[in-house]
Amino acid sequence: MSRRRHIGILLFDGVEELDAVGPWEVLAHWTREHPQDGWAAACLSHDGRPVTAAKGLVIGAHFALDDAPRLDVLVHPGGAGTRRLLRDSAHLDWVRAQRAIVPLLTSVCTGSLVYAAAGLLSGRPATTHSGALDELRTLDPTVDVRAHDRWVDDGDVVTSAGVSAGIDMALHLVARLAGADRARQVKRGIQYDPRPPI
């Protein structure tokens, strides 16, 4: 039997709750309800301890970065905490190291700013939260900023727009990694059928 493949969702203080939990809902439902697909999802934090998210929710991690299984997909959420990470040379070095060993890097919201600060989006199409588009352009003027895209799939890097867009991006990942039928099953399973009341 082939090795189980692993998706890691990064947690950090100040992470936007839905940036992490939205993709988690999609990816955990998929990997737990359809283990035959050979994927597993887990949350990672720097030291394996819980983090306090942007609106005060405390979220636990399954692994510390040093103890995590080898990742096949990394999900880097956004949130107010990314502003600190943009100036954290150790974190940027860690992100660059992931680029070298993780086949697929993804981001939600301002997670793409961290990728840009690490130099991973140069000359590539990408998106971010609508309120951070100019910041993305400033961090790396060579980025082809897709202001109106819900997510941008550029092969080994997938970025998505703000907050709830992470759910759509995660469903896209399921479709990409396990097929459109599986993504539709997951969508039905989590009862995701947006019909905003306003």
Residues 98, 105 contacting (CB under 8 angstroms): yes
Q: What does the DSSP assignment read for 113-131?
A: HHHHHTT-STTSEE---GG
| Cβ contacts of 11 within 8 Å, gap of 6 or more | 20, 43, 44, 45, 51, 59, 61, 77
- pLDDT mean over 164-191: 98
pLDDT tens figures, 84-132:
999 999 999 999 999 999 999 999 999 999 999 999 999 999 999 999 9
Please give the model's pTM, rounded to 2 decimal places. Answer: 0.96
Q: Which of 109, 113, 158, 190 is catalytic?
A: 109
Q: Is the dihedral of CA 62, 56, 28, 156 positive or negative?
A: negative
Q: What is the pLDDT of residue 154?
A: 98
The pLDDT of residue 1 is above 50: no
Q: Is the dihedral of CA 110, 113, 114, 116 positive or negative?
A: positive
For residues 158 and 155, give the distance between their C-alpha atoms in angstroms, rounded to a whole number: 7
Residues 21, 28 contacting (CB under 8 angstroms): no
pLDDT tens figures, 13-65:
999 999 999 999 999 999 999 999 999 999 999 999 999 999 999 999 999 99
The pLDDT of residue 3 is above 90: no
For residues 97 and 115, give the distance between their C-alpha atoms in angstroms, rounded to a whole number: 12
Give the HSE-up count for residue 125: Cα atoms under 13 Å, Cβ half-sphere: 12
Q: Of 182, 5, 12, nearest to 109 (Cα)? A: 12
Q: 43 catalytic, yes or no? A: no
- In the chain, the domains with their CATH numbers are 5-189 (3.40.50.880)
